[in-house]
Each structure stands twice: as C-alpha cells, then as structure tokens.
Amino acid sequence: MSPTLAFPAPRDAAIAAALGRRRKRASLAVQAACMLATLIGLLFLASILATLLWRGLGGISLGLFTHMTKPPGSGGGLLNAIVGSLIQTALGALIGTPVGILVGTFLSEYARGTAIGGAVRFVSDILLSAPSILIGLFIYRLFVAPFGGFSGFAGSLALAVIVIPVVVRTTEDMLLLVPVSLREAAVALGAPKWKSIVQICYPAARDGIATGVLLAVARVAGETAPLLFTSLGNLNWSVDLTRPMPSLPVTIYQYAGSAFQDWVQLAWTGALLITAGVLALNIVARIALRKRA
C-alpha cells in the first residue's frame, strides 16, 4: 500500500504565516529598542568625554607633571597627586592581587561544589558590589582610628579590598575554562595537585587573570571615597606611607568646589587624566581578553 503525503491545510498555513509576521515585528521592535538604548548610552558617554576634553585640555602643560600643588594663583601642578595615586594604586594592586588569585584558585580547584566554597563566593560577590565608601569606613575603623592618624598605607589597604573580589571572580572563571583533560594528564604523570595548578592551570589562564587584574586596577584608579577616610590627602609632597598621602581623586574632589579658577582648571585636567588612564587600561584589558578568546 503506497504511503500518502499529508499537506498542511490552508488555514494552518495562514496561521503559521501570521505567527511568523508577528515574531518578525516583535524582533524588529526589540532590535530598535536595543539600538535606541545603545545610542542614548553612547550619547551620554560622548557628552562626558567632550566636556572633559573641552574643560580639561586647557590645563595640559609640562608644569602639570613637574610642579606640585601650590596656593591659588601660583601656577601649581599635580605632580604630588599623580605620584601619590600611582603609589597607592600600585601598592593596593600588589596586596590585593595575590590574595584574589589564591581565593579564586581555592574556589575553582579545592572548594568546587562545597558549602564553604559557596559561602566564600557569596561573600566575594557581596564585596564586589559593596559601596566603596563602606570599605573606606571599614579600613578607617581597623587601621586609622586605632593608630591615631591617616596614612597612605591605609589608603592602599582600602584599594586592595576593592581589588580582591574582582580578581577572585576573574581567576575562578578563567581556571574553570581550563580543560579537565589537562589536569588529568598532569595527574597521570604523577604530578601533585598544587604542581598541576601552578605549572598547567596558571599558564593556561594567565591572559585572563592578567585581564582581571587590569580591570581591577582601572576600577580603583578613580576611587575617592575610600581615600577620604584613609589617606585623607595632602597638598604637599609626600611619599611616606605612614603619613597622609596625596592622590589625584581626592585633589580633584578638593579643587572642584574651590572658588579659585586655577584650582577648578586643575580639577578638570585631573579628571581628564584619570579618565584617559582608566580608558587606556580598559582598552588594554579588552584587547588581551579578545586575544585570549
């Protein structure tokens, strides 16, 4: 008996065509909404960058990088603030990066699927989204108030606390991307677990971890609130970590509300410098992550 071919009824075909047109209209509407939201975001970003360039480029000069902050009308620069920011940011990254890498390694290699791993991950995620001013108050109560004074070291610790959860999340994610077969090959050759992590997993995830560190540094480079409660700021030259230390974000905060036009100009120029630095770090991190992918 020969098989019979079943053809869709005309009504069913019309319903399918109507549903297809409805899905297409819905897709076009969502696509248009996404494009509109993207354009609005780019418009705000472009306006911010244009304002910074318009207000900040006028203060760019050699003296900005060679002179310290001075009284109004003295033609001062931002050398001490720039150096203070670099010192505190670098020290914060040096303290926070090893801790973040070790915690991320623990979550990925030793505590995967355990209750303690879930608790540590939960705390890290909360710390990742915590307001930076709360971190500044935390370091103030632990390292500023008991020792009776603000210090650059306390500011570096506050920045390190902000760095840690970013590096933890990136390290864990990158190590989870390492194929299990590489770990099994190391175990088959008789390598202990720590050696397989150091010599197999870390090199495989090196680019991704470095990208996370760069993103963490870019985040803390412009933080102001934690430094107000820890290193406080200093209008004089100071590289002593046991005393109040200048920083570019705090100097911008102090100068932006000044009644003196030259200080306001320095604030705009300092904001432009921070924005350019953070933008450069993010671009480097994105390029590195794209190469890794």
**Whole-number pLDDT of residue 248:** 94
Residue 258 has pLDDT above 70, yes or no: yes
The number of beta carbons lying within 10 Å of the beta carbon of residue 61 is: 12
**Whole-number pLDDT of residue 74:** 81
Among 225, 271, 239, which Cα is nearest to 84's?
239
Out of 105-109, 155-159, 172-176, 255-259, least confident range: 255-259
Per-residue pLDDT band for 6 (boundaries 50, 70, 90) equals low
Residue 100 has pLDDT above 70, yes or no: yes
Tokens representing residue 140 in the block: 């103030």
Q: What angle do CA 53, 58, 63 make, to 5 degrees?
A: 120
Token look-up 């306001």 returns: 264
- 91 near 154, Cβ under 8 Å? no
Give CA 247 to chain center in angstroms. 18
Q: What sign does the dihedral 78-80-84-87 (CA atoms) show?
A: positive
Average pLDDT, the chain: 90
Tens digits of residue pLDDT in 228-252: 999 999 888 999 999 999 999 999 9
Whole-angstrom Cα distance, residue 100 to residue 105? 8
Q: What angle do CA 274, 132, 134 make, to 5 degrees?
A: 155
Domains annotated for the chain, with CATH where assigned, are 78-292 (1.10.3720.10)
Alpha helix (H) ranges present in the chain? 10-56, 62-66, 79-105, 115-129, 132-139, 152-176, 180-188, 193-196, 202-204, 206-220, 225-228, 248-256, 261-292
Give, as one character, the DSSP assignment of residue 75.
-
Tens digits of residue pLDDT in 11-42: 777 888 888 888 999 999 999 999 999 999 99
**Whole-number pLDDT of residue 7:** 52
Tokens representing residue 223 in the block: 């933080």
94 in helix, strand or coil?
helix
